[in-house]
Amino acid sequence: MTVSRLPARCDSKQRGVSLIGLLFWAIVVSAVALVAVKVLPTLNEFFTIQRAVNKLVTEGYSTVPEIRAAFEKQKDIEYSISSISGKDLQITKENERTVIRFAYDKEIELVEPVYLLIKYQGRSQ
């Protein structure tokens, strides 16, 4: 007569990811990916505006209308700039140096009733 032997640890719990746990992490990863996909283009626009403003300062424009007109030309070249115009730039002099500041809000629709508001602001270097 043969007796089958049971494993030594037959009462131990199995380890792994349950279906509920897998669904939870899929939802979390999807939500983070959705936010990233919606926010990254606005970050790209902000950095493009920052580069354009820094370029204007280094090119040596001296009057406010010249700076605003040059920004509008740069805006026509950089198609990703759509949130601000030359009129939105705050142009001042600090220590005989031209400083250009800008600020704008970007509202991003995540899912129909839910929006994300990002406030961008920057200045020339």
18-46, pLDDT tens digit by residue?
888 889 999 999 999 999 999 999 999 99
78 touches 54 (CB < 8 A): no
Instruction: Quote the number of domains for the chain.
Output: 1
Q: Write down the mean pLDDT value for the chain.
A: 85
In a domain, residue 43? The reply is: yes
Q: Flag whether the pTM goes above 0.85.
A: no
In a domain, residue 10? The reply is: no
Q: pLDDT confidence of 76, banded at 50, 70, 90?
A: confident
Give the residues across from 114 on adjacent strands: 111
**Higher-confidence position of 41 and 62:** 41
Q: pLDDT confidence of 72, banded at 50, 70, 90?
A: confident
In a domain, residue 100? The reply is: yes
Bridge pairing between strands 97-111 and 114-123? antiparallel
pLDDT of residue 29: 95
In a domain, residue 64? The reply is: yes
User: What is the H or E stretch that residue 105 is in?
Assistant: strand 97-111
Full residue range of the structural domain in which residue 97 is found:
22-123
In a domain, residue 15? The reply is: no
**Higher-confidence position of 9 and 95:** 95
